[in-house]
């Protein structure tokens, strides 16, 4: 459902899960980003949300991904 919504909004990015902590990078048009941010903040499944950067970028990193996904099985954080 979220991937379809992201695609319709022109939003791309990646979601990473490390045990019970999720880190998400999202990029897209300003109006779409405002909607995504609003939806995330309103969703009661999300807690302790911390924004790291909210501003323009020179180039999109995940242009071809509606929303990629990785977990601790895919990466090693040592």
What per-residue confidence (pLDDT) applies to 34?
94
Q: To 5 degrees, how large is the angle CA 11–CA 54–CA 21?
A: 75
Which tokens belong to 71? 């977990």
Domain ranges in the chain?
1-10+23-46+56-63
Give the torsion through C-alpha atoms of 38, 44, 49, 54, to 10 deg: -10
Whether 60 shows a pLDDT value over 80: the answer reads: yes
Give 8-51 pLDDT, tens digit per residue.
999 999 889 888 889 999 999 999 999 999 999 999 998 899 98
The pTM of this model reads 0.76
**CB within 8 Å of 43: residues ≥ 6 apart:** none
């Amino acid at each position: 459902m979220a991937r379809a919504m992201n695609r319709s909004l022109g939003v791309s990015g990646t979601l990473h899960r490390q045990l019970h902590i999720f880190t998400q990078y999202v990029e897209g048009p300003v109006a779409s980003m405002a909607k995504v941010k609003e939806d995330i903040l309103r969703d009661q499944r999300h807690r302790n949300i911390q924004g790291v950067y909210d501003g323009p970028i020179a180039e999109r990193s995940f242009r071809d991904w509606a929303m990629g996904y990785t977990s601790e099985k895919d990466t090693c954080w040592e």
